[in-house]
Amino acid sequence: MGRRETLLEKGSTGTFYSIEGFWAIQTATKQEGGAGRRKRENPPAIAVAPSAVSDSFGWVGFLRSLSGRVIYAEHFAPLLEQIAKLEEALFNIQFEQHWLRDFRAEREMFRSRVVPLFVKKNSKDLYNLWGTTPSRVLNEESFRLFSTGATRKCLDGFRSLSKGNYVPSIRNMSTVASVGIENKEGLKLLVNGGPRAQKMVGIWLFGSAAWVFSMVILGGITRLTRSGLSMTDWKFTGGLPPLSDEDWLLEFGKYKQSPEFKRVNRGMSIEDFKFIYWMEYAHRMWGRALGIMFALPFSYFLRKGYITVQLGLRLSALFGLGAGQGLIGWWMVKSGLEEPASEYAQPRVSPYRLAAHLTSAFAIYCGLLWTGLSVVMPEPPSESLAWVRGAAKVKQLALPVSLLVGVTAVSGAFVAGNDAGHAYNTFPKMGDTWIPEDVFDMKPLIRNFFENTSTVQLDHRILATATLFSIGALWWSTRKFDIHPAVRSLIGSAVGMAGLQVTLGISTLLSYVPVELGTAHQAGALTLLTLMILLNHTLRRPSPYLLKSLPQVAKTI
């Protein structure tokens, strides 16, 4: 080994790697009051003790990252620790007396330059940490030293180790992980333009999903307050609400012609009508505002070239489904404005159309959420091959459980459409029996599962119980699996949310469906579905690029 080389130990094998350029930061010091730089002829060789170098993810992991492999966020902190240990080892070396004074000053330069240098030169690739630059964590004052010759020489020393592309990346240890701006082999990003574009598109999609979530909640309140049939006409572009007393009387007159007023709300006052009208009007206008909120950024991102073809097709389909959702809503309301078949029946919307309206809303929400996750987090968390295999096993169990959660939510729409929540307000029995006698009274038999009040409520009870036990079984079956902590946390959260949702459902039933509990129960269903979407997204198979970079399959240097 030459005297201008620094030696680093790899593990406990005794194999050393030479790093050119580390000494450059010692020899390129700018001297105050002198002419130029003072060059040293024969600086001493430096060997780092084994205790100063990690045998797992210290400098060896750092060298691997410089050769184009992936390093992880959890390895970034140990890397900084190893830099500090190296600094300490350098300082403790016995120099000749006339070198000691200068080395102390240069030690401070090492502390202020090496770590910021690493961050600065990798800022693009490190920017994927939720779009936050690491410079916010470190001392920004040290970045003013980047233009010095010492920094450039030290950089040359680091880069001399590189073989292939210089594209290190840090993995984000959240529920799911993001990648750098490079389009790695086997990984197709949905957004062009780098991490900033990913972040912007992701925020827009998550905001749209949250808007749909609020739409579902507002729609539930509208249904529970029986406000959905207050507006007897529908315009695609909407219109202004009544602004004068004459306008209100005109709208109230239209409502008086509806079957709901004649059979249910005959004694309603104009003030009561204003309340239900405003509820329905807000629900409709909130949906139209969502369309504008989605379309304008979509057009902007298309113009900027951020949207890939795959993402553009997916978002266009979601936009079309959202536009059709307004038509489905009016199709549903129209069924409630028709005269019931029986003179004793209360006017209400078709349970089939209500279920279609709610299912469509759930589909839009899930599509936006999944797409947003795929945009900002293209890779699942996979720090080891064992975790990838564990995730594959969990996915086989999680997918059918997720489908059961969705079916249970849709069955709730039939409970609402048939007003089944106001029947059999007892638990666990339905009245005095476990199973009512009239569960199969309708002909053909299939109608009972969608139109028979007793059967619909019994179905929902059975499905809800099955969902709770299925999620519990998912947790029990995977408790000993070697899986990522994020997966384990999501499963535990789903168990807790399922228990809360069942509790809300029972409380709503026993309380004769108050607006507050009914709304919370509907929000709970969508929250549980959200957790299952997050879980399934986290369990995706990693790209070939990420699989190659895992410790079990990555080649050692």
Tokens of residue 555, six digits: 């080649």
Give the mean model confidence (pLDDT) for residues 136-155: 36
Three-state secondary structure call for residue 170 = strand
Note the pLDDT of residue 481: 84
Structure tokens at 246: 């004459």
Q: What is the pLDDT of residue 80?
A: 54
Looking at per-residue pLDDT, the higher value among 186 and 497 belongs to: 497
Cα torsion angle, 541, 545, 549, 553, sign: positive
Residue 40 token pair: 């040293």
| Cα–Cα distance measured from residue 140 to residue 118, given in angstroms and rounded to the nearest whole number | 13
Is residue 86 within 8 Å of 44, Cβ to Cβ?
no
- What pLDDT does 158 receive? 38
3-class secondary-structure state, position 526: helix
Which residue in 524, 493, 491, 495 sits closest to 507, CA to CA?
524
pLDDT-based confidence at 190, cuts 50/70/90? Answer: confident
Going by C-alpha positions, the residue among 69, 59, 157 that lies closest to residue 113 is 157
What is the per-residue DSSP string for 285-320? HHHHHHHHHHHHHHHHHHHHT-B-HHHHHHHHHHHH
* Contact between 133 and 123 (Cβ < 8 Å): yes
With beta carbons less than 8 A apart as the criterion, state whether 427 and 510 touch. Answer: yes
pLDDT band at 510 (very low <50, low <70, confident <90, very high): very high
Question: Which pLDDT belongs to residue 242?
Answer: 86
Q: Using a pLDDT cut of 90, give the percent of the chain over it.
A: 36
How is residue 353 written in tokens? 């159309």
- Mean pLDDT, to the nearest integer, of 444-460? 93
C-alpha separations of 385 from 11, 185, 391, 393, 555 in Å: 21, 18, 10, 13, 14
Neighbours of 247 (CB within 10 A): 12
Helix axes 270-304, 309-336, angle to 10 degrees: 170
Q: Which residue has the tokens 């299912």?
A: 359
Six-digit token pair at 357? 């309206």
pLDDT recorded at residue 408: 96
- What pLDDT does residue 2 have? 40
Higher-pLDDT residue of 503 and 171 is 503
Looking only at the bridges linking them, the beta strands covering 169-171 and 6-10 are unpaired
Average the pLDDT over each of 139-153, 284-298, 353-367, 421-435 and give the range with the smallest value.
139-153
Residue 555, C-beta contacts closer than 8 angstroms, at least 6 positions apart: none
* Mean pLDDT to the nearest integer, 173-191: 49
Torsion angles phi and psi, residue 147, rounded to 5: -85, 0
Confidence of residue 504 (pLDDT cuts 50, 70, 90): very high
Residue 217 confidence class, pLDDT cut points 50, 70, 90: very high
The better pLDDT of the pair 182, 500 is held by 500
- The answer on pLDDT for 339 being more than 60 is yes
Residue pLDDT, tens place only, 402-440: 999 999 999 999 999 898 988 899 999 998 899 998 899
pLDDT band at 77 (very low <50, low <70, confident <90, very high): low
- The DSSP 8-state label assigned to residue 227 in this structure reads -
Higher pLDDT, 340 or 529: 529
**Model confidence at 87: pLDDT above 70:** no
More confident residue, 237 or 45: 237
Q: What is the mean pLDDT of residues 277-296?
A: 91
User: Residue 416 has what pLDDT?
Assistant: 92
pLDDT value of residue 299: 93
State residue 38's pLDDT score.
Answer: 43
Do residues 60 and 54 touch, judged by C-beta distance below 8 A? Answer: yes
Mean pLDDT computed over 39-43: 40
DSSP 12: T
pLDDT for residue 102 is more than 60: no
Write down how long the chain is.
557
Model pLDDT for residues 290-304, shown as the tens digit of each residue: 999 999 999 999 998
Q: Kindly tell me if the per-residue pLDDT of 248 is higher than 50.
A: yes
Range of lowest pLDDT (303-317, 334-348, 353-367, 407-421): 334-348
Q: What does the mean pLDDT of the chain come to?
A: 72
380, 539 Cβ separation under 8 angstroms: yes
Global pTM exceeds 0.75? no
Give the pLDDT band of residue 53 (cuts 50, 70, 90).
very low
User: Structure tokens of 169?
Assistant: 């990346």
Give the pLDDT mean for 278-296: 91
Q: Is the pLDDT reported for residue 134 higher than 70?
A: no
Task: Say which residue, 490 or 344, is predicted with more confidence.
Answer: 490
For residue 551, the model assigns a pLDDT of: 55
| Residues 175 and 373: beta-carbon distance below 8 Å | no
